[in-house]
Structure 1
Amino acid sequence: MDFKLSAEQQDVQKLAIQIFADQTDNEHLRQFDNNSRYDTKLWSDLGETGILGISIDPVQGGMGFGFETLCLVIEEAGRSMAPAPLIPVLVSAALPLQKFGTEQQQSILGRVATGDCLISTAFAEPLNDDPLTPSTTAERVAGGWQLSGLKHCVPYGAQAEKILVSAQSSEGLVALWLSPDNEGIELTDQQSTSGEAQSHMTLTNVLVNDADIMAIGSDAETAMTYALQRTQAALCAFSVGMTDKMVRLTAGYTAEREQFDVKIATFQAVAHRAADAYIDVECLRLATSEAVSLLDQEKPADDSVKIAKIWCGDVTHRTSQASQHLHGGIGVDRDYPLFRYSLWSKQVELTLGGSAQLLSELGESIAETFLNR
């Protein structure tokens, strides 16, 4: 089996590396450190070069390369700390919209591909990251549906034109699209660990037209599972780039830093800890590659995605700690880039399931498989 990237994938990867390298140097990123803005110029450039349309069908103005190729770009975004909402817009929202949305709902994808429109997804509620078991309710009324509930940590909720939301109804789960300016929706800013723009969304008797309903019942469960798994896998791909860069920053620093007139990289304890971090990153890369490949082929990937996200949580945590330890005090200095990687590591670690929670779910899945034999 050939595991090499195709020529098209290599071209996309090189293009992403070039764009991010030109616009994510340390000086440029400083202007985004203390606010929740994304880089609109970078986003526009990604749209002009076709990067934003990588996984969007050609009939919608995209390139149609699929999820695996998109994850190559997301990995480079993690490596460069690019201030661009690639995962919320292109994975969490655009992929399920393209797969399960109606023709009318999909009409927005062309503007997503050009960078002229943001869309997002509200997965989380207070104390609940599972979009399949929301406490938000949907009730049929004259003229459509009425929604009430709370969503939080909605990425770019205030900037999005449409937000994918799940709710419980008497007919089962409902997956639908909301416009943030709908009457009854209140958005308040939330402070995130990484600085990413997030919103708390309060829904009070929000009227939704039938045209904005994407799926109901088992179809809605399938759609939200589709979105959730791909978002978890994309976070893993982002972490591969992020942790790889942390290891490289650490290797470069320890190769130059001296104690007692000796490079600290030659110290056995330093070398061992750095080596452990490198092995961790390569394990995360392998687990992520399997999950992404299975999802790209639309094969069953429940356990593979959980395994990758468990590795993601553990590896981002350990790599961030090791990098900070081996850098000493400079690791938290905001004039040095490592602090951004550490902040994002913590956010990714806890987004859509921590390692302990997912390990428990994986154990239950394995046990159920053996019991049913």
Structure 2
Amino acid sequence: MDFSFSEQQQDVQNLARQILTEEVSAERQDVVDQQPDRFDKALWAKLAEAGLLGVSIAEKNGGMGFNFTELCFFIEEAGRTVAPIPVIPVLVSAALPIQQFGSVEQQRRLLQPLASGKTLITTAFMEPMGEDPATPLTQARPQGAGYVVNGVKTAVPLAHLSERVLISAKTDNGVVALMINPRAEGVTLVPLKVTSGEPQSEMRLENVLVATCDVLAGPEQGGELMTWAAQRTIVAYAAMQVGVSDKSMRMTASYTAERQQFGVPIATFQAVGHRAANCFIDVECLKLTAYQAASLLEADVDASTEVEIAKVWAGDVGHRVSFASQHLHGGIGIDKDYPLWRYCLWARHIELTLGSSASTLAKLGEKIAKGEAYVS
């Protein structure tokens, strides 16, 4: 059996790598850092022009019509350059559930301008007291064919630039998935400072009216939608962590091959070589677990265990590789004139997004103890 990636998948990755490598530089990142939005709109437009924003959007909605794995390859390359673009909250967390669960009208209205780069749609998965979007504290009560929403969502990427924000809210009959207009009456956005520097907001909702056209799923399907979206988001972050960690490792290998001590490159020291080799093994294991989960999700089979495994590896590998990279670089690793610091911050950001490795490992352990995982 051939487990290698297809030519089509490699073409998507090569195209993404070419554009991102050419367009993302330390100098350009410094310029974007000074912008209040910290969002490279020119790069986003170039990716839209190349069709990459629509990699996994159906052709009828203006996309390429490829699968989730191809999208993960694109996201891996975004991680490899730590490009200041919201690929996961927009293209995975928001676009994929709209395509899977949305009506024809919702897909046409929201996905076509997204694929062309004209608008953004983002997602509010997290709350101050919770990380599982399928069990929200935010409340919604029916009003006519729509809903009135009250609650707080936190760590919402690029909410102030988005056309809609996908949220979940609980009702007396179950969880609903709604598209919130961030400029609607009753919505307050409070800017947050986060580890990665990504522009995020706390979104406070006070009697916000959501019309029928922005109800993505009612109480009979809302919880399923949010779990479906969260699983793909977790795996997408694992794919991004592959790119982040792989680039950190390669930067470290290059540095240790040039940095000399006692007249020889420090890469020739046994302890340094062992540390770097462990990083390589870690990255390869992370890649295996991430793309195993991605392939199962693409096949639309139950992959809850594999998603949790990918989440644990993404957190642990990002932590270990960034720590080793800093150690082997010495003091230069935290100097902002050298790019490693960006990768270390993003590795940490990914590690703690939608739950930590420890909390995920605890849930996985409980499943195994109950016989709900790895039982033939």
TM-score, normalised to structure 2's length? 0.97
Aligned partner of 2:93 in structure 1 is 92
Deviation at 1:218, TM superposition (A): 3.9
**Partner secondary structure for residue 176 of structure 1:** strand
Contact 2:168–2:178 (CA<8 Å) still a contact in 1?
Answer: yes
Structure 2 CA distance for aligned equivalents of residues 207 and 360 of structure 1: 38
Aligned partner of 1:77 in structure 2 is 78
Do residues 333 (structure 1) and 335 (structure 2) align? yes
Deviation at 1:147, TM superposition (A): 0.5
**Partner secondary structure for residue 371 of structure 2:** helix
TM-aligned CA distance change 1:304 to 1:218, over 3 Å: farther
Q: Higher mean Cα deviation, 26-35 or 354-363? A: 26-35
Which residues in structure 2 correspond to 1:167-246 (within 5 Å)? 167-246=169-248
Which residues in structure 2 correspond to 1:1-373 (within 5 Å)? 1-35=1-35, 36-107=37-108, 108-142=110-144, 144-369=146-371
What value does the CA root-mean-square deviation take over the aligned residues? 1.4
1:101-121 CA-partner distances (Å, limit 9, x unpaired): 112221220111111110011
Contact 1:34–1:195 (CA<8 Å) still a contact in 2?
Answer: no
**Partner secondary structure for residue 217 of structure 2:** strand
1:69-99 CA-partner distances (Å, limit 9, x unpaired): 0000100111111111110110000000000
Deviation at 1:213, TM superposition (A): 1.1
Q: Which amino acid aligns with 1:254?
A: T
**Partner secondary structure for residue 116 of structure 1:** coil
Structure 2 CA distance for aligned equivalents of residues 125 and 40 of structure 1: 28
Contact 1:171–1:216 (CA<8 Å) still a contact in 2?
Answer: no
Calculate percent identity across the aligned residue pairs: 52
Q: Which amino acid aligns with 2:101?
A: F
Structure 1 CA distance for aligned equivalents of residues 144 and 372 of structure 2: 48
Deviation at 1:12, TM superposition (A): 1.3
Deviation at 1:169, TM superposition (A): 0.4
Structure 1 CA distance for aligned equivalents of residues 368 and 34 of structure 2: 44
Q: Which amino acid aligns with 1:102?
A: S
Contact 1:68–1:293 (CA<8 Å) still a contact in 2?
Answer: yes
Structure 1 CA distance for aligned equivalents of residues 260 and 33 of structure 2: 30
TM-score, normalised to structure 1's length? 0.97
Structure 1 CA distance for aligned equivalents of residues 263 and 286 of structure 2: 35
Structure 2 CA distance for aligned equivalents of residues 132 and 73 of structure 1: 27
Structure 2 CA distance for aligned equivalents of residues 369 and 13 of structure 1: 38
**Partner secondary structure for residue 129 of structure 1:** coil
Contact 2:134–2:224 (CA<8 Å) still a contact in 1?
Answer: no
Q: Which amino acid aligns with 1:141?
A: Q
Q: Which amino acid aligns with 1:273?
A: R
Structure 2 CA distance for aligned equivalents of residues 101 and 190 of structure 1: 30
Contact 2:146–2:215 (CA<8 Å) still a contact in 1?
Answer: no
**Partner secondary structure for residue 162 of structure 2:** coil
Deviation at 1:141, TM superposition (A): 2.4
Deviation at 1:11, TM superposition (A): 1.6
- Structure 2: runs of 5+ lacking an equivalent: none
1:286-313 CA-partner distances (Å, limit 9, x unpaired): 1111101101111110000000000000
Contact 2:293–2:310 (CA<8 Å) still a contact in 1?
Answer: yes
Contact 1:247–1:319 (CA<8 Å) still a contact in 2?
Answer: yes
